[in-house]
């Protein structure tokens, strides 16, 4: 008789790394699938919201909707130059669902 074992934890968790950031930046999702969060955050709710927000970006990158480099952010094939946008703007198309999540 065969049976299937199920792990009591997520078998493919997203790595979360605490690191220093410039003022006003709470977190980032990097291209390797890591969530980087500001090491100075102490409020559990703010940490959870930041992780939820960045998880949306991880999903967007996995789905091929979102990409970025030093000069631009690419959303569904459209190029947004970093010099011409405020990346924390809640109205950016890739930020709307992320802010909704956290």
Host domain of residue 51 = 16-101
Bigger pLDDT: 87 vs 98: 98
In this prediction, residues 19-33 reach a mean pLDDT of: 94
Whole-angstrom Cα distance, residue 73 to residue 43?
Answer: 30
Q: In degrees to the nearest 10, what's the CA dihedral of 58, 63, 68, 69?
A: 100
CB–CB of 35/15 below 8 Å?
yes
Find how far residue 2's CA is from the centre of its chain: 39
Whether 94 is covered by a domain: the verdict is: yes
Question: In terms of pTM, does the model score above 0.95?
Answer: no
Whole-angstrom Cα distance, residue 43 to residue 36?
Answer: 16
pLDDT, position 1:
58
Whether 11 is covered by a domain: the verdict is: no
Whether 2 is covered by a domain: the verdict is: no
Look over the chain and give the mean of its residue pLDDT values, rounded to a whole number: 92
Q: Coil, strand, or helix at residue 87?
A: coil
Written as six digits, the tokens of 53 are 């927000």
pLDDT, position 44:
95
Whether 4 is covered by a domain: the verdict is: no
Bigger pLDDT: 3 vs 72: 72
Provide the number of structural domains found in the chain: 1
Whether 37 is covered by a domain: the verdict is: yes
Residue 4 has pLDDT above 80, yes or no: no
How does pLDDT run across 37-50, given as a tens digit for each residue? 999 999 999 999 99
Whether 6 is covered by a domain: the verdict is: no
């Amino acid at each position: 008789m065969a049976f299937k074992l199920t792990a009591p934890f997520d078998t493919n968790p997203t790595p979360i790394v605490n690191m220093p950031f410039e003022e006003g930046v709470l977190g980032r999702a990097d291209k390797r699938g890591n969530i980087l969060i500001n090491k100075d955050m102490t409020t559990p709710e703010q940490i959870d919201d930041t992780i939820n927000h960045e998880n949306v970006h991880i999903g967007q990158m996995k789905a091929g909707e979102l990409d970025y480099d030093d000069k631009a952010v690419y959303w569904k094939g459209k190029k947004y130059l970093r010099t011409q946008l405020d990346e924390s703007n809640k109205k950016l198309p890739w930020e709307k669902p992320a802010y909704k999540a956290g």
